Copies of this chain bind each other. A is one copy, B any other.
């Protein structure tokens, strides 16, 4: 009913990072695409097959070193329902390998519909006499623009099924401030949203003090990251924007508490495309991803020290 399962894995691996699997087809090595297109033709099914193969290779390489993956729903939806099947298969595979899975869907809606999203991504659905798991992630990113009744169905699932959510608070993109930095009674919108996270998570706190309701706070705004870490003591942060988007290790270090807990830092492109950056043989893409994952872990940990109470 909290994020303890994730935090346990972070402590066990001494690695507060998550690998974002946002697989544009152009990130997938040619040898994988060639084989998939040969088996399925150049179509959405072929693309989805190539992406699944690519993802599995990365998961195999990193699963003992990295606690979690974060597949971004958009890049799977881009390949239609075949792509969405690859999302489901990627989640299943990573969980089999012991990884914690955060589906990055930024879902949001009114209560009744949010219940459907909660069921889809974190829970189980009844079909006739059968109880089935549509996607089965451990956590889901969500958008709180609709307020409490759009979040409540998720809290129920978090409690009953030991799942988590991450609510968008201060996002990493250049124009995030257009709304999020505006002041409401002297308090920025992102902080208003952050305080709502504290409230939503009040009854869902775990052994480390962090609740099931996390927040997305971008590495590209280190001052806000620091400020929010102090103001939201029970809210665990998912931190995008490290690496390609411009956030450095010293920036993301501000997301952590004195025990090296309180946050998990995401890297997507730098890991998926490590083989391109290295210029190594594309058949080594998974090993190159592993090298980047270790580099990132070491860089971030050098700023935060030993992780755990």
Contact = CB atoms under 8 A, between A and B. Distances in A.
Given A173-B150, A184-B184, A134 B179 contact: no
A247 interface: no
A101 B124 CA distance: 28
A146 B193 CA distance: 13
A78 B120 contact: yes
A77 B148 contact: no
Contacts of A185: 182-183
A226 to B, nearest CB: 21
A43 B130 contact: yes
Contacts of A108: 106, 108, 143, 168
A185 B179 CA distance: 12
This chain's copy number in the assembly: 2
B175 A120 contact: no
Contacts of A150: 171, 173, 175
Interface string A179-190: 110111100010
A259 interface: no
Contacts of A121: 77
Interface in A175-203: 175-180, 182-185, 189, 192-193, 196
* Interface size of A as a range: 35 or more
B184 A114 contact: no
A292 interface: no
A233 interface: no
Interface string A221-260: 0000000000000000000100000000000000000000
B184 A145 contact: no
Nearest to A135: B80
Given A81-B81, A145-B180, A182-B185, 12 more contacts: A42-B128, A44-B132, A44-B134, A72-B116, A74-B109, A74-B120, A79-B134, A110-B172, A145-B171, A146-B171, A146-B176, A150-B171
